[in-house]
């Protein structure tokens, strides 16, 4: 950590600051320039609050040199984490596709889609029971009943199930859920993250619409700090000035950046990123090529009558076509370090 | 609502669509052009799911003409809402300043600040008990104990108290809180919004870092749809590409835009928007001039030792100076319709 | 084009508007709803100024249904355009890689790089002679002399040369340049675009840092409207809130979106998009997989001593490795319509 | 400037780097920590290319401590610059309003508007002769003829004239123009900036749609480095994710930030920032309150028939109302250092 002092900083206050830093167990290397003096803080600075230092009268600026995250940091955990979901592995060279409808709507719907996506090679089933919707007047999901229907589809197909939690109070309903999804709007719902840190299940953590890579890493750190080491990152498009064609801008460069900084697996959601069914295929191919550990894709047996997000859902036939293209490209995908 | 059909749309599907629209109780006005055919849907379209229509094979695009919100809409409620907080009024020409520390740290701290801001003219006391922090290793707030200290400060000064809720489960602790704040990161925590719709207390709803004005209006609609009509909007800076100097970009034009679209009061938080104490004064003055119904300002008796956000906190002296400047400019502030 | 009228619009003004629309050769389809009246304008609306209509007292909103561009529009030109650069083809299934240093620095440097990239399979040589730099104190390029050195490298290797123009006055120096590049900062330098519309050479048009896809299409329309039909689009990253790791956010979804809307070829610049050499390879692979018609990559024989952008330049060895990975993935890349 | 070295950096390369730094006339202060070693570069680092250092194998990161601009920097020029335009002063406590139509359309139009805005207190006349338009099919301005009409309006009213240049080749036509405007899209047209550095006239430099404050300062530095010290900054809205209501997001905090960093005057353009006439008044009031040195406002005698941007133009009556509100608020506006 580097502390840049203001010109003509008061010497008494400076001495006080230096004493405080040393009391925190850190060494100080001081560089006195013509225009500014710099303190280099040497030691474990992860517990130092950067804002606190920045607020001091004599300080012009503070810059972090080392990362503020530890458990998720590849530096301290160089090997890829492999998350195991009932035998389905993801990460460390294992690739898995999660597919299913945006919302669970009925037993026949979810079971039909589950069988179709399994036949095409999907490794897990997704389906929304609790639905975050911008409008209070939109369909809010089947909630507890939706989870029961997912369990039926799991019983029929053997596919592990992935579904979103929206509030801590819903946690008891997730006993038979295999992967708990944290949606983009809840990426910084810190109380929820803390609760999920105490759960013994993989967490699919979606990047917020306007969250930086570092914030995403810090949110995973919340979960890991609680003791749960099974976190899967999911990039699903970020919000930018470009809103005309696609709902969001898919940041595929997040794949190598996240995998460089962290040992956790990274998957891509091209359905929410683009919001347009016909753009899902090229983005699935590109994401796989960029080295993603998996994909999460919306598939509906009747997109035109889906209760939400039909516009971005693939038919089972289109999904099958995507899976073939993804399988074909996998051997040529980017692998870090090669 | 306008539905633009694809060129050469299948006539049978079109007939089916038209029947469905009429079954929803709407009239159709059809415009057939050379390059495209347009259906104008006439009637109450607020219940029509725009995504559902957009997913149809024969549809190129769907555009809303009327707003998707009702309770917050000024069109259906032309008069300004005045929120009354234990006698302190905000909105409809009533201006109120909320001030206090980012975090409650001790009884002496919160009481000292409360007395200081009251003396300078603040109408309510703010103080964080539950603190949303990017890092799990940062101070997370005094939580329940913090609320108790706020209540002591209220008892001493008579100032109504405003503090943030982070999870539904914390609600019982808010019995003696006067205004419940929903933070930027929870603006689209829909389960929390629904729960607050059942509460009989004013809600201070902060705009999310990357939330559009319309999304903010829809989040207020969630609260109002539950029966709670006391919502106060708070603009606190949005996330843009400019991150060098200020933490966020304060969108002061949101004041007239929100007041045009909605009857609810709008306040500004220049402390979080700028993240820099010396920029708080000019932004308080500008926000007041633009017609804000109030301000929420961080004040700390010892900013350099604040446990969080010290960098953006004013001293009581600086706050007093800001209050004088704000009072001076108020008579010349913008008033809509004049 | 759809014109949404204000509630209770003045009937005399409405009659006047309708007459004006008909005088422009358009038909009107009127939908009268309870809350609003809508005019559907039928015919060729590309000459109607949307702002002019929007400014009228009685108009609430105007929405375009058809695109404001014609020459670049795939609707009117369904077949892919193939740009031919001295025998090197790009577009319509032809893939080409442009490589070379950010700046031309010396004859030996540019010739050495040219031979290296040719040996690895590059089809064209790039090199900056006129350099847009944020600081007036940074190296501004070798200018005219740089173009002469590029011509020498072309003479030695036979590679067509691509270099950036920064001002109309430089045009005479570009006689022997094969492809004229318009940089991101000049994408809306309309006088330059008009001048390039009169040139009989391919134009490599880079997307601006904050330009929408539609603005990029309109800038190409400027060139094509002047008579020059050889335009190549280049996505090079857009500016977003995420600035920590990568310089910009690479928008790979722009590839299928641009190719859907336009018949012109689309290439990707991962060097400027990421700004980090080690991220160039995964983004080259992903861009190729997403269906790009080519790549433009920075290669320097001595990146650590490059006069600009060394941080993002590949060594010739690293470039060779990227080319092999790109060649391997090409057969499995996304093709529109398949 | 701070150079953070990679862990286990090669000692021979490090020695080479240290020699190079010292050869540039700088001192080095070295801090060796457990996880990283830091070099503090002491002396005048403004000529050091940060990218060059960052490209070195042994370097993890480089951070600037002092600003990369000099002539525009308030640190080296503490007193406000006052720009004098034919007797009209702007900056250093002098406030001036520039008003007029988006485009010059006819002699009667420009003269009528000039007289009206003068009567209401405008100090200068604006009017576009060369018009940057997204579409090649939109009205491109009256060009040279437009400047002649501006000169006639100046002759009639005595108001100095402000108009936009789009290309260096147009410079000879600007002999009788009082202030040359550089539009947002040309803020980083560096060849144009260099040419304007040689001109003896004030330059009104508009911030680019996605330009950071630092980039704006650097563009002014281009002009000042050429010898022209009369630069006026203009904030006119930046491009963000919020595009629904207003065309751009007006960044009023840019006023105190720019004035803190630079001695040059800062004005605000609420017409382009909002794009909506009825939002111009509140933003004029807020900008004045925030300490702007002036405003530039679009006024048209017949907005509904303006050839461009009618939607955001005020009538002369509305402008007169805005001027009264601005005058009323000026005495209470923020003044830096008070």
Axis-axis angle for helices B107-120, B144-157 (nearest 10): 40
- pLDDT of the residue at A227: 96
C125 and C12 share a domain? Answer: no
B243/C241 touch (CB, cutoff 8 Å), yes or no: yes
Residue A338 is assigned to a structural domain of this protein: no
> Cβ contacts (< 8 Å) between A241 and chain D: which residues?
210, 239-241, 243
Distance (Å, rounded) from C-alpha B150 to C-alpha B147?
5
C51 and C132 share a domain? Answer: no
Is B64 touching A (CB cutoff 8 A)?
A: no
CA torsion sign, A136 to D240 to A256 to D58?
negative
A311 and A184 share a domain? Answer: yes
Residues C41-54 as b/e (b if ≥16 CB within 10 A, e otherwise) read bbbebeebbbbbbb
CA distance C217 to chain A (A): 13
Considering only CB atoms, D334 lies closest to which of B244, B252, B282, namely B282
Residue B79 corresponds to which tokens in the numbers above?
């008069």
Average pLDDT over residues D321-326: 98
Residues C155-192 as b/e (b if ≥16 CB within 10 A, e otherwise) read eebebbbbbbbbbbebbebbeebbbbbbbbbbbbbbbb
D213/B328 touch (CB, cutoff 8 Å), yes or no: no
B96 and B34 share a domain? Answer: no
C224 and C179 share a domain? Answer: yes
Is C64 touching B (CB cutoff 8 A)?
A: no
For the stretch C256-260, contacts whose Cβ atoms lie closer than 8 Å and that sit 24 or more positions apart, written own/partner, are C256/A278, C256/A279, C256/A282, C256/A283, C256/C290, C256/C291, C256/C334, C256/C336, C257/A245, C257/A246, C257/A279, C257/C213, C258/C213, C258/C216, C258/C217, C258/C233, C259/C74, C259/C291, C259/C336, C260/A278, C260/C74, C260/C336
CA distance A33 to chain D (A): 5
Percent residues over pLDDT 70 in chain B: 96
C222/D136 touch (CB, cutoff 8 Å), yes or no: yes
Is A38 touching C (CB cutoff 8 A)?
A: no
Query: Nearest chain A Cα to C279, which residue?
Result: A256
CA distance B220 to chain A (A): 10
Average pLDDT over residues A129-144: 91
D125: nearest Cα among D145, D97, D147: D97
Chains touching chain A at 3 or more Cβ pairs under 8 angstroms? B, C, D
Average pLDDT over residues D91-103: 97
CB pairs under 8 A between A and B: 130
Q: How many other CB atoms are found less than 10 A from the CB of residue C198?
A: 11
C189/D185 touch (CB, cutoff 8 Å), yes or no: yes
Q: Which domain holds residue C158?
A: 74-332
Radius of gyration (C-alpha) of chain B in whole angstroms: 23
Chains touching chain B at 3 or more Cβ pairs under 8 angstroms? A, C, D
Average pLDDT over residues A125-139: 92
Higher-confidence position of B51 and A183:
A183
> Cβ contacts (< 8 Å) between A326 and chain C: which residues?
none
Considering only CB atoms, D282 lies closest to which of B250, B290, B328, namely B290
Residue D184 is assigned to a structural domain of this protein: yes
pLDDT band at D325 (very low <50, low <70, confident <90, very high): very high
C257/A279 touch (CB, cutoff 8 Å), yes or no: yes
D36/A240 touch (CB, cutoff 8 Å), yes or no: no
C40/B43 touch (CB, cutoff 8 Å), yes or no: no
C22 and C82 share a domain? Answer: no
B172 and B304 share a domain? Answer: yes
DSSP-based three-state secondary structure for C152: helix
Domain total for chain B? 2
Is B31 touching C (CB cutoff 8 A)?
A: yes
C307/D52 touch (CB, cutoff 8 Å), yes or no: yes
Percent residues over pLDDT 70 in chain A: 96
> Cβ contacts (< 8 Å) between C239 and chain B: which residues?
241
Is C274 touching A (CB cutoff 8 A)?
A: yes
Q: Which of A191, A213, A227 to mutate to test the interface with B (most CBs of B within 10 A)?
A: A191
- pLDDT of the residue at D222: 96
In this predicted structure, which of B197-211, D7-21, D250-264 has the lowest mean pLDDT? D7-21
CATH code of B200's domain: 3.20.20.70
D58 and D101 share a domain? Answer: no
Is C74 touching A (CB cutoff 8 A)?
A: no
- pLDDT of the residue at A299: 96
Percent residues over pLDDT 90 in chain B: 69
Task: Tell me the longest C-alpha to C-alpha distance in chain B.
Answer: 75
pLDDT band at B34 (very low <50, low <70, confident <90, very high): low
Among C16, C36, C63, the domain boundary falls at C63
- Which value, to the nearest 10 degrees, does the dihedral of the CA atoms of residues D225, D226, D229, D230 take? -130
C334/A328 touch (CB, cutoff 8 Å), yes or no: no
- pLDDT of the residue at D310: 66
- pLDDT of the residue at D21: 86
Is A221 touching B (CB cutoff 8 A)?
A: yes
A126 and A248 share a domain? Answer: yes
Is B318 touching D (CB cutoff 8 A)?
A: no
In this predicted structure, which of A99-103, B49-53, D122-126, D297-301 has the lowest mean pLDDT? B49-53
> Cβ contacts (< 8 Å) between D47 and chain C: which residues?
137
Chains touching chain D at 3 or more Cβ pairs under 8 angstroms? A, B, C
Q: State pLDDT tens for residues A82-92.
A: 999 999 999 99
D50 and D184 share a domain? Answer: no
Query: Nearest chain D Cα to A76, which residue?
Result: D35
Average pLDDT over residues C134-156: 94
Residue A158 is assigned to a structural domain of this protein: yes
Residue A12 is assigned to a structural domain of this protein: yes
pLDDT band at B39 (very low <50, low <70, confident <90, very high): confident
A167 and A303 share a domain? Answer: yes
- Position B47 pLDDT exceeds 80: no
Residue A227 is assigned to a structural domain of this protein: yes
- pLDDT of the residue at B162: 98
CA distance C257 to chain A (A): 8
C31/B31 touch (CB, cutoff 8 Å), yes or no: yes
Axis-axis angle for helices B280-289, D254-261 (nearest 10): 140
A179 and A32 share a domain? Answer: no
* Contact between residue D180 and residue D206 where contact means Cβ atoms under 8 Å apart: no
- pLDDT of the residue at D171: 97
DSSP code string of A157-195: H---EEEEE-SGGGGGGGTT-SEEEE-GGGTT-HHHHHH
Residue B290 is assigned to a structural domain of this protein: yes
pLDDT band at D7 (very low <50, low <70, confident <90, very high): confident
Chains touching chain C at 3 or more Cβ pairs under 8 angstroms? A, B, D
Q: Which of C7, C21, C38, C209 to mutate to test the interface with B (most CBs of B within 10 A)?
A: C38
> Cβ contacts (< 8 Å) between B239 and chain C: which residues?
241
- pLDDT of the residue at C244: 67
Single pTM value for the model: 0.92
Is D241 touching A (CB cutoff 8 A)?
A: yes
- Position D157 pLDDT exceeds 80: yes
- Position A100 pLDDT exceeds 90: yes
B242/D213 touch (CB, cutoff 8 Å), yes or no: yes
- pLDDT of the residue at A308: 61
The helix or strand, by DSSP H or E, that contains position A75, with its residue range, turns out to be none
Higher-confidence position of D87 and A303:
D87
Among C20, C40, C63, the domain boundary falls at C63
ipTM of the complex: 0.91
In the numeric block, the tokens 């069109």 are attached to: B75
CATH code of A29's domain: 3.30.70.1140
- pLDDT of the residue at B1: 81
Residue D338 is assigned to a structural domain of this protein: no
Is A332 touching B (CB cutoff 8 A)?
A: no
Residue B87 is assigned to a structural domain of this protein: yes
Percent residues over pLDDT 90 in chain A: 69
The chain-wide mean pLDDT, for chain C, equals: 91
């Amino acid at each position: 950590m580097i502390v840049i002092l203001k010109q003509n900083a008061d010497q008494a206050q400076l001495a006080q600051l230096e004493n405080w830093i040393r009391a925190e167990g850190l060494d100080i290397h001081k560089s006195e320039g013509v225009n500014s003096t710099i303190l280099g803080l040497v030691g474990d600075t992860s517990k130092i609050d950067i804002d606190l230092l920045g607020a001091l009268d004599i300080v012009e600026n503070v810059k972090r040199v080392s990362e503020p995250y530890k458990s998720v940091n590849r530096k301290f955990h160089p090997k890829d984490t492999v998350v195991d979901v009932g035998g389905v592995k993801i990460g460390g060279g294992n690739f898995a596709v999660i597919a299913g409808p945006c919302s669970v709507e009925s037993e026949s719907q979810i079971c039909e889609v589950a069988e179709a996506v399994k036949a095409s090679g999907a490794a897990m089933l997704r389906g929304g029971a609790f639905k975050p919707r911008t409008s209070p007047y939109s369909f809010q999901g089947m909630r507890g009943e939706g989870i029961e229907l997912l369990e039926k589809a799991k019983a029929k197909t053997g596919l592990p199930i992935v579904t979103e939690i929206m509030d801590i109070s819903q946690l008891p309903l997730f006993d038979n859920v295999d992967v708990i999804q944290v949606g983009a709007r809840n990426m910084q719902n810190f109380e929820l993250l803390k609760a999920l840190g105490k759960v013994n299940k993989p967490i699919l953590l979606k990047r917020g619409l306007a969250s930086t890579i570092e914030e995403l890493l810090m949110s995973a750190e919340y979960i890991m700090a609680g003791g749960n080491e099974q976190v899967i990152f999911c990039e699903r498009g970020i919000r930018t000035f470009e809103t005309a064609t696609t709902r969001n801008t898919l940041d595929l460069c997040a794949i190598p950046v996240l995998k460089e900084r962290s040992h956790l697996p990274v998957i891509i959601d091209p359905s929410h990123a683009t919001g347009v069914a016909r753009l899902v295929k090229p983005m699935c191919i590109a994401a796989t090529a960029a080295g993603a550990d998996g994909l999460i894709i919306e598939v509906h047996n009747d997109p035109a009558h889906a209760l939400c997000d039909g516009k971005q859902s693939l038919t089972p036939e289109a999904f099958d076509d995507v899976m073939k293209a993804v399988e074909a490209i996998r051997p040529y995908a980017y692998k870090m370090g090669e």
